[in-house]
Amino acid sequence: MKQLALFSILVWGFIHPVTAQITITNAVFPVVGDTLQYRFGNQPGAINQIFTPPGGPQSWDLTSLQAAQNWNQVMNNPQSGSAHASFPAASVLFHPVNSSSEVYWQVTGGQVLDLGYFGLDPIGLGLNLLFKKTPSLEQFWAPIQFFDIHQSASNVLTAFAAAAAPPILLNLVPTADSFRIRVTQQRIASIDAFGTLVIPGGSFDVLRKKQTEYRSTAVDVKVAPLGWIDISTIGGQQILPLGTDTITTFHFLNDVSKEAIAICTLNTAQNEVLGVQYKALNSPTATFVPSSEAVMFTYPNPVRNTLQVRLTSNAGATYQLRLINAQGRLVLEQTMEAAAAVPDISIPVADLAPGVYELILQRNGVAVGRSRVVKI
């Protein structure tokens, strides 16, 4: 399959002369102090025209996108992170959208490598843990040119004591000594097209990177005298959002902008765009950054039946939770008390329609935290 895709690119190159192609250098690599401004849209009718064959020059038009959310990706000094000692090679640190987790990247002259992160676990257990990637996973390389193909892989193995485990695990194995989360990522990225991309507010010369990632997640338990045992499935029943996911994305990259001009996430069949993260060309009216006054975690996310909300500060304070749908309509409102003894509050969402929602945390009528919630 890989050989066929490469052959198609080569044939296109002979039919259409290789002209007007940009080369992307390490000048667009992130450095401490950068603020990358993004917006998110999910209107399928506006974005499904990106499905074009390899080659170029091509034109893609995403001007019909309407922003449902904004994000300022601030590149901080890694020394400011609580887990910086675990990532001594890190060059920058940032918080993912709607999260206070700490992601650590290493920036060299020719690569940007994902070293790992400290924060909420990826399977919705509600645990803050350290996840180090071995080896580091390639995010970008330079120079980037048409026809480039790169592969990268990494593994994560994070253990935690049974005393810290949630009931969903302890009920399965009451005699457990400890548990661990295993994550394997494999990526193949090819620069398969070039041309012009138009987004709300501007037009850019771009290279298109098609990236396919295979991500496998499992949970093990350590029980004496047997040692580590995989409990990802019990009696053929999957107990957590585990297994292997295939994630395919189109990245439209420019040689001047540090932001990707657009990142389109596809469905499993690769025939529909689920959403787009794209460069914000004017100042957003609202941004989603971790709050210094109150930190809010939501899990599981995506959620099917019950959403758990956890606050990690301001015990004893009273907060209001407001859930807004994609049309801006209030669909749920609830008051919660932040108490150290009862850190979580449950929100029933089974009756809500599938889609993307915004959860707003307010204190005395002022928004102090936000989270994007995906209802499935």
In a domain, 288, yes or no: no
pLDDT at 142: 95
| Residue 327 confidence (pLDDT) | 61
Stated pTM of the model: 0.71
pLDDT digits 0-9 by tens, 102-111: 999 999 999 9
Q: Amino acid identity, residue 10? A: L
Determine the pLDDT at residue 347.
Answer: 85
Instruction: Tell me: do 132 and 100 sit in the same domain.
Output: yes
Residue 294 has pLDDT above 80, yes or no: no
Is residue 291 in a domain? no
The per-residue pLDDT for 284 is 39
Q: Is the pLDDT of residue 9 over 60?
A: no
Question: Distance between CA atoms of 155 and 8, rounded to whole angstroms?
Answer: 32
Question: Positive or negative CA dihedral for 135, 139, 141, 147?
Answer: positive
Domain encompassing residue 199: 2-279
Q: Tell me how many domains the chain contains.
A: 2
Domain boundary (224, 254, 279) is at 279
For residue 7, the surrounding DSSP H or E stretch is helix 2-15
Instruction: Please give the full DSSP string across 232-267, using - where no structure is assigned.
Output: SEETTEE-SS-EEEEEEEEEEE-SS-SS-SEEEEE-
* Same domain as 300, residue 275: no
Q: Is residue 130, in this structure, part of any structural domain at all?
A: yes
User: Can you list the alpha helix ranges (DSSP code H) found in 139-230?
Assistant: 167-170
Q: Give the C-alpha distances (Å, rounded to integers) separating 3 from 7, 51, 149, 164, 213.
A: 6, 20, 11, 47, 18
pLDDT attached to residue 94: 96
Same domain, 185 and 140: yes
Q: What is the pLDDT of residues 316-349, one digit of tens each?
A: 677 888 888 766 677 888 887 766 555 677 888 8
Same domain, 269 and 301: no
Condensed to tens digits (0 to 9), the pLDDT of residues 181-196 reads 999 999 999 999 999 9
Q: What is the CATH number of the domain that holds 358?
A: 2.60.40.10
pLDDT range class, residue 80, cuts 50, 70, 90: very high
Q: How confident is the model at residue 44 (pLDDT cuts 50, 70, 90)?
A: low
Asked if residue 75 and residue 40 are part of one domain, the reply reads yes
Of 116 and 376, the structure prediction assigns the larger pLDDT to 116
